A and B are shown apart, each in its own frame.
Chain A
């Protein structure tokens, strides 16, 4: 339907909509996050839900203590390799449709612990992430911005066609393999179905390093 006509009809007291709009409106307006935090980012997440920042304005005030009742996983904090399987398992236990916000430098990439031996280098190695928020930790405004970005993303989703979201496509998985504790590292160290190393240009000027091996 033509947007201008729709607005005109609304002015006359006639409300028109589509099933897709209603469906997306319902989903984006009641995103219930899973009630868990991993590190200092969780403190900012808690602050976001409190009166000063008031996440309830976005329909996300009900933090559920059970993954069965949650729509949104806010990965707030450092994911140690010892904790990673539990985070993936919690994600698997959430019913579709489900979304993930990767909050803060650690959840995105490992952050300041990236080159340590015991911190997972980003939760996106095992589960698909919808929104990334940089920051150490991100302020509540950043989390609210991520919420609004996620709501925009949900609003734009098509219910049919090739671009339909994962939960409407039976061929797409809703659960992802939980990594196992290995003798030296998590096994596998990442899920190749979910994560591909981003292509970055890591070449440096030859003055910085000896001639062997680098362009």
Chain B
């Protein structure tokens, strides 16, 4: 399926939606559609219900963490080079989270179409619209993303942690997650684990 034509078809039918093609330069060439969160639900409904598309099956939902770049010089250089506007520059500094949906059509036997949605940052503005009302199969997977990445899906029928316990506060799949330090006993320690074990044994083995 041609993503360009799909994009223009969605834009014609869902006025006011923000769509952008994210190209994948690798061999797999799985290009995806970056979807603005504001009209995401309408776009999803259109993809599911339009006669020619009928994307009735959401096979996978996953999250991605894009932390802020650590080297500030690089950000500045990029900002100057591409002359980003203020909003995009801020997004560069704070990083963001992303949810990725893989859609197929059982009826028309086509797919996948890959949808992406970005949060505004990684701390406060981490809300995205839930697509569970459109595809029921996204229920547990959006809960998993909420649990492990910390994206809050507005409109989800039952947004609770699914893998970790309710009292847990961290989001383990984020790249800056600090795991609990229970490295007292590591019989075959090496590299990072060796360093952590040594800290438990007074700095030296």
Residues of chain A touching chain B, judged by Cβ–Cβ distance below 8 Å, are: 81-82, 109, 114-118, 121, 181-185, 189-190, 197-198, 200-204, 209, 213-215
Instruction: For the complex formed, measure the closest distance between the CB of B176 and the CB atoms of chain A, giving whole angstroms.
Output: 13
Given A117-B177, A189-B182, A197-B200, A204 contacting B169 (CB threshold 8 A):
no
Which of B46-54, B92-100, B186-194 lies at the binding interface?
B186-194
Given contacts A118-B163, A182-B167, contact A203 B205 (CB under 8 A): yes
CB distance from A187 to the nearest CB of B (A): 10
The A/B interface has a contact count, at CB < 8 Å, of 67
Interface range on chain B: under 10, 10 to 19, 20 to 34, or 35 or more? 20 to 34
Partner of A184, one of B163, B168, B185: B168
Contacts of A202 in B (CB 8 A): 186, 189, 194, 197-198, 201, 205
Whether the pair A183, B169 counts as a contact (CB closer than 8 A) is yes
Are A189 and B180 in contact, CB atoms less than 8 angstroms apart? yes
Of B168, B177, B204, the residue contacting A214 (CB under 8 A) is B204
Query: CA of A197 to CA of B194 in the docked complex: distance in angstroms?
Result: 15
Q: Is the CB of B194 within 8 A of A117?
A: no
21 A-B contact pairs sorted by A residue (CB < 8 Å)? A82-B164, A82-B165, A109-B187, A114-B186, A115-B193, A117-B172, A181-B165, A181-B166, A181-B167, A182-B167, A183-B168, A184-B180, A185-B180, A197-B184, A198-B187, A201-B205, A202-B198, A202-B205, A209-B194, A213-B198, A214-B198
Q: Which residues in A have their C-beta under 8 angstroms from that of B170?
A: 183-184
CB neighbours (8 Å) of A185 from chain B are: 180, 182
With A202-B201, A203-B205, A204-B194 known to touch, is A117 a contact of B166 (CB < 8 Å)? no
What is B's interface to A at a CB cutoff of 8 Å?
163-170, 172, 177, 179-180, 182, 184-187, 189-190, 193-194, 197-198, 200-201, 203-205
Interface of B is mostly: loop
A interface: dominant SS: loop
* CB-based contact B194/A118 at 8 Å: no
Chain B residues contacting A109 (CB-CB under 8 Å) are 185, 187
A210 and B169 alpha carbons, distance in the complex (Å): 35
Q: Would you give the shortest CB distance from B203 to chain A, in whole angstroms?
A: 6
For the complex, give the distance between the alpha carbons of A183 and B194 in Å.
Answer: 26
